[in-house]
């Protein structure tokens, strides 16, 4: 195990650390994008996600004065445990002292525990996303044999321009999701809509539903009207789940999930869902809207968003390290 540099201490996180971790994450994000990425409430919600262990899945580093200067986490809560997510940040004032090497030794040791949980013969990988502008992090990962595997855009639109009403295909109407009676069907529809997207791996539906309920219950900004489906009779044809803030920007709405089920594609439904989201954001006084998308979307989502008037304003890269070779269970 790589030792921690002299003058620093390390421990696992607690929920009480959520505000300090969010400040560290937002300081890092502002260096490269000009805006924060997570509120302390969102961080606390992530830290209490069912299946996530603060003792096992987090590591903090403090300096001699007790200030938080680095954070790392591993997300390995999704069956079948073949794609492990990770996140690590070192405050720029403390870079070049060996803290990154210490955290990555811990991170990779934790990530490799997924190998014993994954199906026999399946490929197991660990990923981390890096901003285009963060060359230091990209070089760090490349030296540790991570390779760039995918690219993601954040797309944006100013909502003070012309408002275009959604044109719904014949027989299809939008319906706000009732989380008491309609959440299960909505989560099933999300899985169906994204089954042919890059990186999708079939997991436990019950765990997906449990985590969705947790996100809603722990979100002080949850707005029921920003979560809706498109219905064709009794069938869900499309889904759109949004938040009333983008990162820490309360003047921007965020489209978290937008998907059309295969049987209803090529009919303009995706555009209608997106324009409906913009309308609902405007009704709440939002000035902008954001979303993230795979730059090489297998379903042509980038063309849809550009057609709606959105433009690219951020770029991040996915870096991947293979922990065990084998059969790749993900959609490509």
User: For the segment 2-54, what is each residue's pLDDT rounded down to a tens digit?
Assistant: 899 999 999 999 999 999 999 999 999 999 999 999 999 999 999 999 999 99
User: For the segment 46-62, what is each residue's pLDDT rounded down to a tens digit?
Assistant: 999 999 999 999 999 99
Indicate the domain borders of the chain.
Answer: 9-118, 155-315
Interval 265-288 mean pLDDT = 97
CB 252 within 8 A of CB 286: yes
Q: Cis peptide leading into 13, omega within 30 of 0?
A: no
Domains 9-118 and 155-315 share a fold: yes
**Assigned CATH topology for domain 9-118:** Aminopeptidase (3.40.630)
pLDDT at site 104 = 97
pLDDT at site 317 = 97
pLDDT at site 65 = 97
Class of domain 155-315: alpha beta
pLDDT at site 324 = 98
Residues in the chain: 332
Interval 237-252 mean pLDDT = 98
Q: How confident is the model at residue 116 (pLDDT cuts 50, 70, 90)?
A: very high
- pTM score, whole prediction: 0.95
Starting from the edge strand earliest in sequence, which strands make up the sheet with 172-176, in order? Answer: 9-11, 58-62, 68-75, 83-90, 124-131, 311-324, 147-158, 288-294, 252-260, 235-243, 227-232, 172-176
User: For the segment 208-223, what is each residue's pLDDT rounded down to a tens digit?
Assistant: 999 999 999 999 999 9
State the Cα–Cα distance between residues 186 and 236, nearest whole angstrom.
Answer: 8
pLDDT score of 300 more than 80: no
State the Cα–Cα distance between residues 45 and 211, nearest whole angstrom.
Answer: 10
pLDDT score of 298 more than 80: no
pLDDT score of 275 more than 90: yes
pLDDT at site 197 = 87
User: For the segment 174-199, what is each residue's pLDDT rounded down to a tens digit?
Assistant: 999 999 999 999 999 999 999 998 88
Where are the alpha helices (H) located in 169-320, listed in sequence order?
183-194, 205-217, 269-283, 301-307
User: For the segment 67-101, what is each residue's pLDDT rounded down to a tens digit?
Assistant: 999 999 999 999 999 999 999 999 999 999 999 99
Q: How confident is the model at residue 279 (pLDDT cuts 50, 70, 90)?
A: very high
pLDDT score of 299 more than 80: no
């Amino acid at each position: 195990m790589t030792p921690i540099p002299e003058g620093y201490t390390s421990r696992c996180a607690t929920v009480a650390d959520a505000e300090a971790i969010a400040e560290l994450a937002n300081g890092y994000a502002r260096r490269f994008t000009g805006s924060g990425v997570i509120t302390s409430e969102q961080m606390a919600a992530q830290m209490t996600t069912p299946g996530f262990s603060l003792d096992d899945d987090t590591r903090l580093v403090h300096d001699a004065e007790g200030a938080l200067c680095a954070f790392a986490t591993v997300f390995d809560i999704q069956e079948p445990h073949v794609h492990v997510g990770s996140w690590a940040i070192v405050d720029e004032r403390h870079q070049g002292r060996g803290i990154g090497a210490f955290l990555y030794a811990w991170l990779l040791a934790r990530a490799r525990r997924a190998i014993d949980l994954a199906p026999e013969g399946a490929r197991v990988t660990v990923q981390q996303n890096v901003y285009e502008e963060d060359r230091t992090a990209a070089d760090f990962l490349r030296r540790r044999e991570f390779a760039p595997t995918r690219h993601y855009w954040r797309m944006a639109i100013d909502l003070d321009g012309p408002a275009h009403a959604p044109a719904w295909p014949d027989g299809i109407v939008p319906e706000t999701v009732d989380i008491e009676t309609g959440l299960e069907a909505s989560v099933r529809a999300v899985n169906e809509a994204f089954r042919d997207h890059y990186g999708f791996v079939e997991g436990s539906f019950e765990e997906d539903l449990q985590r969705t309920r947790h996100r809603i219950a722990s979100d002080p900004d949850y707005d029921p009207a920003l979560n809706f489906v498109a219905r064709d009779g009794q069938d869900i044809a499309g889904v759109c789940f949004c938040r009333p803030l983008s990162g820490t920007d309360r003047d921007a709405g965020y489209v978290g999930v937008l998907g059309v089920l295969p049987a209803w594609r090529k009919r303009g439904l995706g555009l209608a869902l997106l324009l409906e989201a913009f309308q609902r954001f405007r009704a709440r006084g939002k000035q902008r809207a954001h979303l993230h998308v795979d730059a090489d979307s297998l379903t042509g989502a980038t063309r849809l968003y550009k057609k709606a008037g959105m433009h690219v304003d951020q770029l991040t890269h996915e870096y991947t390290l293979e922990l065990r070779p084998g059969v790749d269970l993900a959609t490509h």
